[in-house]
């Protein structure tokens, strides 16, 4: 395998930092770009002394001029707490960020992978979700800055493919979890684990019957890298996630059991536009990428619980920010 110089936007985030690490392990040079809106330097401290790793503080809504062989575009806050904090910036990151990275890829004539999301399906009327489903998204809802921003980014990627013959790769990421999740991102896995480790009540929204599928970070990163390695005629979109489906209440009960917490489960009103079902159809990923997730939920939760247990012990203030 030829060694490459690879740009990872959002490279100090939860998934971006693991992707940088995996690419370095394979001998590539990595240029990590992040504005640290949600990313954390703690995720990449251990990489800074690697001569093949370069960190650039930069906002992808502004043009970037570097020389690389591939681009993974992961830059964007991905949890409701973070992307709703500044919805205008979220849309700009999705749209202007895509335009700038696509322009860079066009100039360099290199492949570019976009980390899209299962949120493009909205509150789906098709279950499980297949790539051909167009979605059911509220364009003016509280989540639309992210949902529609990502949908527009997909449109831009396909436009560059059609008009400029650019080698694009689109993956739609379903719920992913694991060590290095931000403790205050509002996602269900990190919320439940931190509440349980602190013996606090675990909050579920609605009656907890809404479902999600949870993919462990190692499986997700492998799928992204396999997608980048596909021939130019394979563009996607391709769903990557774990087709195992669990109710939110089942997840809460599992976390309580695994942490030994004394937490109670309490209910709060369901947020606006919260999808009732989420489960990927990964038929295309199996066929095209020869990939499917290997990590059972209980195993992945064990690693994630231990990460947060250590984080609470070593830096409790970070968990309260």
What is the pLDDT, as a whole number, of residue 61?
96
What is the pLDDT, as a whole number, of residue 79?
67
The residue behind tokens 């391709």 is 238
φ, ψ of residue 222 to 5 degrees: the values are -60, -40
Sign of CA dihedral 282, 283, 289, 292: positive
What class, spelled out in words, does domain 5-320 have in CATH?
A: alpha beta
What is the pLDDT, as a whole number, of residue 273?
64
Assessment of whether the complete model's pTM goes beyond 0.85:
yes
118 three-class SS: helix
Domain boundaries, the chain: 5-320
What is the pLDDT, as a whole number, of residue 321?
55
What is the pLDDT, as a whole number, of residue 257?
95
Per-residue pLDDT of the chain (321 residues), as tens digits, is: 589 999 999 999 999 999 999 999 999 999 999 999 888 899 999 999 999 999 999 999 999 999 999 999 999 987 677 778 889 999 999 999 999 999 999 999 999 999 999 999 998 899 899 999 999 999 998 989 999 999 999 999 999 999 999 999 999 999 999 999 988 887 899 999 999 999 999 988 888 888 899 999 999 999 999 999 999 999 999 999 999 999 999 999 999 999 999 999 998 887 776 778 889 999 999 999 999 999 999 999 999 999 999 998 887 777 765
- Residues 130/241, Cβ–Cβ less than 8 Å: no
E strand intervals along the chain: 5-9, 29-34, 53-57, 70-73, 112-117, 168-173, 176-177, 202-205, 211-212, 215-216, 238-240, 246-247, 265-268
DSSP string, 185-221: S--HHHHHHHHHHTTPPEEEETTS--EE--EEHHHHH
Rounded to whole angstroms, the Cα distance separating 134 from 189 reads 27
**To 10 degrees, the CA torsion angle through 246, 249, 254, 260?**
170
Tokens standing for residue 265 = 């489960």
What is the pLDDT, as a whole number, of residue 5?
98
76 φ/ψ sector (left φ>0, alpha ψ -120 to 50, else beta): left
Rounded to whole angstroms, the Cα distance separating 299 from 290 reads 22
- Residue 275 Cα distances to 120, 122, 124, 137, 286, angstroms: 11, 6, 7, 10, 25
- Residue 204 Cα distances to 143, 201, 208, 253, 297, angstroms: 19, 10, 6, 11, 19
The residue behind tokens 């109670």 is 264
Listed in sequence order, the residues at least 6 apart from 143 whose beta carbon sits closer than 8 Å to its beta carbon are 80, 83, 84, 119, 272, 273
Please tell me which residue in 146, 160, 177, 216 is annotated as part of the active site: 146
Tokens standing for residue 313 = 């012990």
Rounded to whole angstroms, the Cα distance separating 46 from 13 reads 14
Rounded to whole angstroms, the Cα distance separating 108 from 196 reads 48
146 catalytic? Reply is yes
């Amino acid at each position: 395998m030829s060694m490459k110089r690879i740009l990872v936007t959002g490279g100090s985030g939860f998934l971006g930092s693991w992707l940088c690490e995996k690419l370095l392990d394979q001998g590539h040079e990595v240029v990590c770009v992040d504005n640290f809106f949600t990313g954390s330097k703690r995720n990449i401290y251990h990489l800074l002394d690697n001569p093949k790793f370069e960190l650039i503080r930069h906002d992808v809504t502004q043009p970037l001029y570097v020389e690389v062989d591939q681009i993974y575009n992961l830059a964007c806050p991905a949890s409701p707490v973070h992307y709703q904090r500044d919805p205008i910036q979220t849309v700009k990151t999705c749209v202007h960020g895509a335009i700038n990275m696509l322009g860079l890829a066009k100039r360099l004539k290199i492949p570019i992978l976009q980390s899209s999301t299962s949120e493009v399906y909205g509150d789906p009327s098709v279950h499980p979700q297949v790539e051909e489903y167009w979605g059911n998204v509220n364009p003016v809802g509280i989540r639309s800055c992210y949902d529609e921003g990502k949908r527009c980014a997909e449109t831009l990627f396909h436009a560059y493919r059609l008009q400029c013959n650019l080698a694009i790769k689109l993956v739609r990421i379903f719920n992913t979890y694991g060590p290095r999740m931000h403790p205050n991102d509002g996602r269900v896995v990190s919320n439940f684990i931190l509440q349980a480790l602190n013996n606090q009540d675990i909050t579920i929204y609605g009656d907890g019957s809404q479902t999600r599928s949870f993919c462990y970070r190692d499986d997700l990163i492998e799928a992204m890298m396999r997608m980048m390695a596909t021939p130019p005629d394979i563009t996607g979109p391709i769903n990557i996630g774990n087709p195992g489906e669990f109710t939110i209440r089942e997840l809460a009960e599992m976390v309580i059991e695994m942490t030994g917490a004394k937490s109670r489960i309490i209910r709060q009103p369901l947020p606006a536009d919260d999808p009732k079902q989420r489960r990927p159809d990964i038929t295309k990923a199996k066929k095209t990428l020869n990939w499917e997730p290997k990590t059972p939920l209980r195993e992945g939760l064990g690693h994630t619980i231990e990460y947060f247990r250590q984080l609470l012990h070593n830096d409790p203030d970070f968990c309260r920010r």
